[in-house]
Structure 1
Amino acid sequence: MNMPASSAVDGTDGIGAPATAVSIGLTETAPSFGALFPSTRYFEVDSKIAGARFGVWVTPPAQYDADQAKSYPIVYQVDGNLFFPTTAPLHQAGQSDSMSPQIPFILVSVGYSERESHAWPWLRVRDLLPPGESVPEVMLQAVELSVQAGLLPRDEGDRYIEMFANPAADKFLGFLEEELHPQLAKSFRIDADNVGLWGVSYGGLFSAYVAIRRSDLFKRIGASSPGIVGEDSRIFELYREAVASKQDYSGRQLHITLGGRELTEPGIYQWLTALGTSRLLAETSHHPLPGLEVSSEVIPLESHLSGGVPAWFSFLRACYRRG
């Protein structure tokens, strides 16, 4: 029997009597990883070089299983705890995007293990900053405020402060190049000549560091809103050294992005990211590294936080667009 339409409006059964509530039987449950990300495989990897355990999410392209003889480019994405859940669901679909089709590639998101996933905002400082890079006072204050608010135990906060004094991007790069990539190459069909890297914020600083160091592995690199703070950033010293070396950077790409509001809106990000990013772009223009292809994009309306995912797709358009 159909309920008269009036009952949906006045809460009656159609003849003036109160309608009877119907239970829909909500059952709370936790979906499996496979249900949420059916194409992704998750690994945890211990690094002797970095002295840490990392989480690694590997998502192949949609057509990976169709041709067992075909190899694919591979793109490493740092800050995997943040960006894997926001980009992986769109990864396979992006390769059939008729407006901006991508070259099929294997996506590797690198972050922190289940045991340390809660601490990824602090651990990334250790792994993504070049040796000798100074950490701005606001980062130290953030740790102290977290301790005072009861969000971090004092001993854990002290551990992070100690890490900040000794950043080790060189060791994290060693982990990627010498430990993780060789292991993945044994399990997945990888095009060894087409390996990319992308990061945002301190991940963007790390990406710029890797590009300037002229990594033998990573050839297509995206540095989004890189956390290049102050004129004494190690990035500029490394860049001057790279120019003086006269090394050939042919066959390499560096794509740099910045959120529009980071640049135009008065606030902390004008000097945390916009100033250093603008200076890096000026260096690549006035003192280009021989053969390095540099592109850039200011992403309209986006902030430092909201610009992360649009920056990822900007990188893919610049470095992995098909056709």
Structure 2
Amino acid sequence: MQSMSLLSLRLGRGLLLGLLLAPLLPLGGSPALARDETAWRPVELPQSLQRDVTSRHTGRTYRIFVAKPAGAAPAAGYPVLYALDGNTAFPTLSVVARRMAERAAVTGVPPTLVVAIGYPGSADEAVTARADDYTPPLPPGRPKSERGGERQGGADRFLAFIEEELKPLIAAEFPVDPARQGLFGHSYGGLFALHVLFTRPQAFHTYVAASPSVWYGDRYLRLEREQLAAGARRQAQVLITVGAREDDPPSDNPDSPRARLLASRPMVTDAREMGLWLAGGARLAGPVRYEVLAGENHGSVILPSLTRALAFLGDPEAMAP
């Protein structure tokens, strides 16, 4: 079931690193630069915007990052990729989306509007907020996570924010194609992406779940997915990625409590099982891909998964095994 995407064939790691780093240099031409070339200045991301939005559904304020492609939009509007954990994902995603679109004839990725959903405030506050926003509501008796604060299970409220508040805001300000919209999430974000697929599959055209936390709620997703199997055939397409080293025990203490916890949450096994189920029993008209990324762990897998998300939204057949 392992596959190598067209992107990984066409963009080597060295080239990708160059694409990521080169555009992050400060923009020249400002009066401050002319006055003092030795001064440190904030880094700017070209064609990128941000604003804060407070949701009536969740009561939270979100930091919304947008990267708009250069040039005129196609007649149908831009494809849109919504990415969770926006504070982390957006800098990489905005640069890669722009550079891939500049070479669309080679990469197969059309100009794509990137919308990343993050949080203002500290990293600790973001951890607490995402633990609520990204986790599905559980029936009595299903265990919640021991991390991320007491409040969990707010995924439906968060989805209502995206569907009823954020998407209309983006559509009012940018030309978008409502038929080509994707959702990317990593870890708890991957859990959220699969929860949306299983309960509201019409919300997005493309779902990318990187290292999804299938273990959450005693693998509640395995019950929830039966809603998708019992429903009408859907046009959605799905990509699941996972790092090949995610199940490796800690090298310093393979018998530690953390090692035992990791053993109870086999990310590669769970992702593979979910990918096989989606390919065989999900009643999806679109393609399903599952990819194990060599050399990657749970933290590092997000970078190559972001590039694959753009490629999969743009041309899923290019990623066929």
Determine the C-alpha separation between the residues in 2 that align with 1:193 and 1:50: 26
Is residue 2:37 matched to residue 1:53?
Answer: no
| Equivalent in 204, 219, 243 of residue 218 of structure 1 | 204
Instruction: Label 1:75 to 1:167 Cα distance change in 2 as closer, same or farther (>3 A).
Output: same
- Residue 29 of structure 1 aligns with which residue? 40
Determine the C-alpha separation between the residues in 2 that align with 1:221 and 1:126: 20
**CA displacement at 1:321 relative to structure 2:** 2.9
Instruction: Label 1:116 to 1:264 Cα distance change in 2 as closer, same or farther (>3 A).
Output: closer
Instruction: Label 1:287 to 1:321 Cα distance change in 2 as closer, same or farther (>3 A).
Output: closer
- Residue 100 of structure 1 aligns with which residue? 107
Instruction: Label 1:70 to 1:231 Cα distance change in 2 as closer, same or farther (>3 A).
Output: closer
- Residue 252 of structure 1 aligns with which residue? 236
Instruction: Supply the RMSD in Å over aligned alpha carbons.
Output: 2.6
| Equivalent in 142, 150, 164 of residue 178 of structure 1 | 164
TM-score for both structures, normalised by structure 1: 0.75
**CA displacement at 1:264 relative to structure 2:** 5.9
Is residue 2:154 matched to residue 1:190?
Answer: no
| Equivalent in 226, 242, 261 of residue 245 of structure 2 | 261
Determine the C-alpha separation between the residues in 2 that align with 1:131 and 1:215: 17
- 1:161 counterpart SS class: coil
Determine the C-alpha separation between the residues in 1 that align with 2:185 and 2:197: 12
Moved over 6 A (4+): none
| Equivalent in 289, 295, 320 of residue 314 of structure 2 | 320
The structure with the largest alpha-carbon Rg is: 1
Determine the C-alpha separation between the residues in 2 that align with 1:162 and 1:80: 23
- Residue 233 of structure 1 aligns with which residue? 219
- 1:232 counterpart SS class: helix
Q: Unaligned 5+ residue runs, structure 2?
A: 1-35, 251-258
Determine the C-alpha separation between the residues in 1 that align with 2:248 and 2:96: 30
- Residue 83 of structure 2 aligns with which residue? 77
- Residue 8 of structure 2 aligns with which residue? none
Instruction: Label 1:43 to 1:117 Cα distance change in 2 as closer, same or farther (>3 A).
Output: farther
TM-score for both structures, normalised by structure 2: 0.75
| Structure with more relative contact order (C-alpha pairs < 8 Å, separation 6 or more) | 2
**CA displacement at 1:195 relative to structure 2:** 0.9
Determine the C-alpha separation between the residues in 2 that align with 1:37 and 1:288: 39
Contact 2:191–2:209 (CA under 8 A) maintained in structure 1: yes
Contact 1:201–1:273 (CA under 8 A) maintained in structure 2: no
Determine the C-alpha separation between the residues in 1 that align with 2:41 and 2:69: 27
Contact 2:275–2:289 (CA under 8 A) maintained in structure 1: no
Instruction: Label 1:279 to 1:36 Cα distance change in 2 as closer, same or farther (>3 A).
Output: same
Determine the C-alpha separation between the residues in 2 that align with 1:179 and 1:190: 15
- Residue 278 of structure 1 aligns with which residue? 272
- Residue 204 of structure 1 aligns with which residue? 190
- 2:303 counterpart SS class: helix
Is residue 2:157 matched to residue 1:136?
Answer: no
Determine the C-alpha separation between the residues in 2 that align with 1:313 and 1:265: 27
* AA at the equivalent of 1:195: Q
Q: Unaligned 5+ residue runs, structure 1?
A: 1-24, 140-159
Contact 1:41–1:57 (CA under 8 A) maintained in structure 2: yes
**CA displacement at 1:28 relative to structure 2:** 4.9
* AA at the equivalent of 1:212: F
Q: Deviations over 1:85-108 (max 9, x none)?
A: 222222211113464231211000
- 1:102 counterpart SS class: coil
Report % sequence identity.
28
| Equivalent in 132, 141, 149 of residue 161 of structure 1 | 149
Determine the C-alpha separation between the residues in 2 that align with 1:36 and 1:62: 16
Q: Deviations over 1:73-92 (max 9, x none)?
A: 11100000111122222221
